[in-house]
C-alpha cells in the first residue's frame, strides 16, 4: 500500500459495515495499520454490535446508532490508552462488527443410525434430521471462545460443531424417553422443546442462543419400513374374497382382453379361486362347533283335573295318570301352540296311550 493509501486510510472518517451475505456472523473492519481518525463517524445498524479491541483486549462496545469517536464515548479505550481530553491524533484499534440477526434453516442430522430398544419391535435403528435457528447472544464471549482473530467468520465454520452437539443430546434424550417408534411422529414438538432446553446452556457457553430447534423426520431402516408397509397392506385388504375377485378383474383388464391374455387371466382366476376355496374351507372348519347341539326340550301338556288346570305333564307322566284313571278321553287338554282346550281323546298324540288302557266295564 502506497503513501496516498496510508494518508487516505487515516483520514477516511466513516466506519460502517453493510452485509451482502446471508452467513457472515463477524466482520473485522479493515483499516490501514488499524489507524482510526479521532472524531470519525461510526455507524452501527440495527441487528449489529461494534466491538473495539485494543492490543488484544476487548474495550468499548457500541450498540446500534451513530457515534463520533472521541474520548467521551470511548471510556474504556481512553483508560487503556491513558488519553487526555486534548487527544487529536489517529489511534489504533481493531473494530469487529457482530451480526445479531437469526441464522435460520441450519441443518442437523444423524450421520449414523441410532440404536434404540423399542417396546413393540425390540432393538431398532433410527435416523433423524431437522433444522435449527441460532443467533449471537453475547458478542464478548463469542469473540473470546469462537472467533479469536478471525476477520471474517461465517456460520459454516462452526455448523459442524453445533450439529454434533444437537445429535449427541438427541440420541440420549430419545433413548431415555421410552416413546415407541410409531408414536414419535406425534411427539415431534414436545421432543424438540425438550432437546432445546437441554442444549441451550451449551450454546450459551459459546455466546450463542439456540432460538428454535425442529425435528422434521425420524425414519426406520428400509427393510423395517417395507415390513411395516406389508403389515399395513394386510390390514387394508379387508374381505379376502372381494379382494381376489377384484385382482382377477384387474389382471384381465390390464392384459387387454385378448385370447391369450384371457387364458392367462383365467389361469390367474383359477389360482385365485383355489386360494378362495382354501380360505373358505378354513373358515368353515373354524366355524364348525366342537360340541353336539343341546337335547331338544320334551313336549309337555296341561289338563283340566277336578275343575282346575294341572301340569305341565310329560307323555310318561300322562300315561301313568291315564292308567290310574285321573285322565280319560273326555278330559280337556292343552299344549303350547293350541288355540284352546280340547278333549284328550281327540288329540292324535294320545291315541296310542288310550288304546293301551281297557275301556270301563259296562254298567
pLDDT in tens, 218-246: 888 777 777 766 666 666 555 556 666 66
| Residue pLDDT, tens place only, 166-196 | 888 887 777 777 777 777 777 788 888 888 8
Asked whether the beta carbons of 268 and 255 are under 8 A apart, the reply is: no
pLDDT of residue 33: 65
Q: Measuring CA to CA, which residue among 30, 29, 22, 56 is closest to residue 44?
A: 29
Other Cβ atoms closer than 10 A to 350: 21
pLDDT of residue 340: 83
Report the phi/psi class of residue 33: left, alpha or beta, with left for phi > 0 and alpha for psi in -120 to 50.
Answer: left
DSSP string, 297-344: PPP-EEEEETTEEEEEE-HHHHHHHHHHTSS-TTSEEE-TT-SS-EEG
Asked whether the beta carbons of 332 and 304 are under 8 A apart, the reply is: yes
| Helices and strands of the chain, counted as H and E runs | 10, 18
- Cα 107 → chain centroid: 20
What residues pair up with 116 in beta bridges, in sequence order? 124
Q: What percent of the chain has pLDDT over 90?
A: 18
- The ranges assigned to domains in the chain are 3-99, 103-220, 223-254, 301-355
Most confident of the ranges 103-112, 116-125, 335-344: 103-112
Most confident of the ranges 14-23, 95-104, 116-125, 267-276: 95-104
Q: Which helix (DSSP H) or strand (DSSP E) does residue 138 occupy?
A: none
Q: What is the dihedral of CA 214, 217, 220, 221, to 10 degrees?
A: -110
Does pLDDT of 139 surpass 90?
A: yes
Helix intervals (H) in 74-221: 75-81, 139-142, 156-177, 188-204
Q: What average pLDDT score do residues 253-279 get? A: 59
Residues in the chain: 363
Residue partners of 348: CB distance under 8 A and separation at least 6: none
The structure's pTM equals 0.57
63-86: b or e for each residue (b if 16 or more CB lie within 10 Å)?
eeeebebebeebeebbebbebeee
pLDDT of residue 263: 55
Q: What average pLDDT score do residues 239-257 get? A: 64
pLDDT of residue 274: 62
| Residue pLDDT, tens place only, 101-112 | 999 999 998 888
- Average pLDDT score over the chain: 77
CATH 3.30.479.30 for the 103-220 domain, yes or no: yes
pLDDT of residue 1: 46
Asked whether the beta carbons of 197 and 209 are under 8 A apart, the reply is: no
Does residue 44 sit in helix, strand or coil? strand
Q: What average pLDDT score do residues 16-25 get? A: 90
Q: What average pLDDT score do residues 81-94 get? A: 66
Handedness of CA 343, 346, 349, 353 (dihedral sign): positive
The residue among 351 and 152 whose pLDDT is bigger is 152
The residue among 352 and 342 whose pLDDT is bigger is 342
Asked whether the beta carbons of 123 and 117 are under 8 A apart, the reply is: yes
Amino acid at each position: 500500500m502506497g503513501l496516498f493509501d496510508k494518508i487516505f486510510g487515516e483520514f477516511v472518517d466513516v466506519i460502517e459495515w453493510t452485509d451482502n451475505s446471508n452467513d457472515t456472523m463477524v466482520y473485522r473492519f479493515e483499516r490501514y495499520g488499524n489507524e482510526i481518525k479521532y472524531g470519525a463517524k461510526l455507524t452501527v445498524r440495527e441487528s449489529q454490535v461494534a466491538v473495539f479491541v485494543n492490543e488484544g483486549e476487548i474495550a468499548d462496545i457500541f450498540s446500534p446508532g451513530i457515534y463520533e469517536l472521541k474520548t467521551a464515548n470511548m471510556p474504556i479505550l481512553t483508560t487503556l490508552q491513558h488519553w487526555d481530553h486534548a487527544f487529536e491524533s489517529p489511534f489504533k484499534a481493531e473494530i469487529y462488527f457482530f451480526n445479531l440477526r437469526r441464522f435460520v434453516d441450519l441443518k442437523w442430522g444423524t450421520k449414523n443410525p441410532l440404536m434404540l430398544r423399542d417396546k413393540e419391535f425390540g432393538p431398532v435403528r433410527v435416523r433423524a434430521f431437522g433444522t435449527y435457528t441460532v443467533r449471537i447472544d453475547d458478542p464478548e464471549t463469542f469473540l473470546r471462545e469462537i472467533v479469536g482473530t478471525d476477520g471474517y467468520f461465517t456460520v459454516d465454520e462452526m455448523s459442524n460443531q453445533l450439529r454434533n452437539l444437537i445429535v449427541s443430546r438427541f440420541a440420549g434424550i430419545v433413548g431415555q424417553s421410552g416413546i415407541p417408534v410409531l408414536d414419535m411422529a406425534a411427539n415431534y414438538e414436545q421432543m424438540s422443546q425438550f432437546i432445546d432446553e437441554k442444549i441451550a446452556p451449551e450454546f450459551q457457553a459459546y455466546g450463542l442462543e439456540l432460538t428454535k430447534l425442529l425435528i422434521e423426520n425420524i425414519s426406520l431402516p428400509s427393510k423395517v419400513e417395507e415390513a411395516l408397509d406389508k403389515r399395513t397392506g394386510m390390514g387394508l385388504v379387508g374381505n379376502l374374497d372381494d379382494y381376489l375377485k377384484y385382482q382377477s378383474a384387474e389382471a384381465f383388464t390390464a392384459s387387454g382382453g385378448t385370447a391369450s391374455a384371457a387364458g392367462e387371466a383365467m389361469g390367474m382366476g383359477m389360482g385365485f379361486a383355489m386360494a378362495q376355496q382354501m380360505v373358505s374351507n378354513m373358515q368353515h372348519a373354524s366355524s364348525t362347533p366342537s360340541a353336539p347341539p343341546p337335547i331338544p326340550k320334551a313336549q309337555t301338556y296341561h289338563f283340566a283335573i277336578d275343575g282346575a288346570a294341572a301340569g305341565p305333564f310329560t307323555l310318561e307322566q300322562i300315561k301313568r295318570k291315564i292308567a290310574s284313571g285321573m285322565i280319560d278321553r273326555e278330559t280337556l287338554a292343552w299344549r303350547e301352540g293350541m288355540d284352546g282346550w280340547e278333549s284328550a281323546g281327540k288329540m292324535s298324540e294320545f291315541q296310542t296311550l288310550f288304546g293301551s288302557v281297557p275301556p270301563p266295564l259296562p254298567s
